[in-house]
A = this chain, B = another copy of it.
């Protein structure tokens, strides 16, 4: 095994890493079924047998990429939601900036993950449950407490739903917006920048 022992140095970016990031690109763009092992190798500019050499199978490689995608989507805000010192409102402010920044860098992530979940193996579902960021977070506990005292109009689950919806659906529907000519890329980015501050405002109206 090369991967496990790792006695050698990495020559520049190692073949293994080149394949992994190529897989990220191709899987994210085309999905699992429409992606071939040869596509990935071509993107990495390597012989296609190396994919199986380093990752054993297409499916194992996909699971790796999908798990990373889920972590990227959820972990980037996890500690933020569990911070005991900040108010729910402050959490919302930070969350929106943090998440939109991340999504602007990886705009295809939400659709990719939604598809991964829809046709998921147990392995991937497990990754999701273990990182069930929102519902087990201190953020939701705070909201439930406020809701219980009558100091929060909206049900916490609806609030979270609205927050995630307004943040991520524009990215899910990004290609639709672009291809219909509703917006161009520059305008899309500008609107997402606006939403960093607008969404917290709208959410607070609901609270």
Q: Which residues of A approach B to under 8 Å, CB–CB? A: 30-34, 108, 111, 113-115, 117-120, 125, 128-129, 132, 134-135, 154, 157-158, 161-162, 164-166, 168-170, 172-173, 175-176, 179-183, 191, 194-195, 198, 202, 205-206
User: How far apart sit A113 and B173, CA to CA, in the bound complex (Å)?
Assistant: 9
User: For residue A169, which residues in chain B have a CB less than 8 angstroms away from its CB?
Assistant: 161, 164-165, 168-169, 172
Q: How far is the CB of A171 from chain B (nearest CB, A)?
A: 10
CB<8 Å pairs between A and B, sample of 12 = A111-B118, A117-B175, A125-B180, A128-B176, A129-B179, A132-B180, A135-B180, A135-B182, A157-B183, A161-B166, A162-B166, A166-B166
Q: Please classify the interface of chain A as helix (H, G, I), strand (E, B), loop, or mixed, using the class held by over half of its residues.
A: helix
User: For residue A34, which residues in chain B have a CB less than 8 angstroms away from its CB?
Assistant: 32-33, 119
User: How far apart sit A22 and B170, CA to CA, in the bound complex (Å)?
Assistant: 31
Contact of A172 among B114, B166, B179, B180 (CB under 8 A): B114
Task: Indicate whether A158 sits within 8 Å of B195 (C-beta atoms), given known contacts A125-B179, A165-B166.
Answer: yes
User: For residue A31, which residues in chain B have a CB less than 8 angstroms away from its CB?
Assistant: 31, 33, 115, 119
User: For residue A164, which residues in chain B have a CB less than 8 angstroms away from its CB?
Assistant: 169, 173
User: For residue A33, which residues in chain B have a CB less than 8 angstroms away from its CB?
Assistant: 30-31, 33-34
User: For residue A194, which residues in chain B have a CB less than 8 angstroms away from its CB?
Assistant: 158
In the complex, the answer to whether A115 meets B119 with C-beta atoms within 8 Å is: no
User: For residue A30, which residues in chain B have a CB less than 8 angstroms away from its CB?
Assistant: 33, 119
User: For residue A165, which residues in chain B have a CB less than 8 angstroms away from its CB?
Assistant: 165-166, 168-170
Task: Indicate whether A179 sits within 8 Å of B120 (C-beta atoms), given known contacts A165-B169, A173-B164.
Answer: yes
Q: Which of A118, A172, A181, A182 has most B Cβ within 10 Å?
A: A118
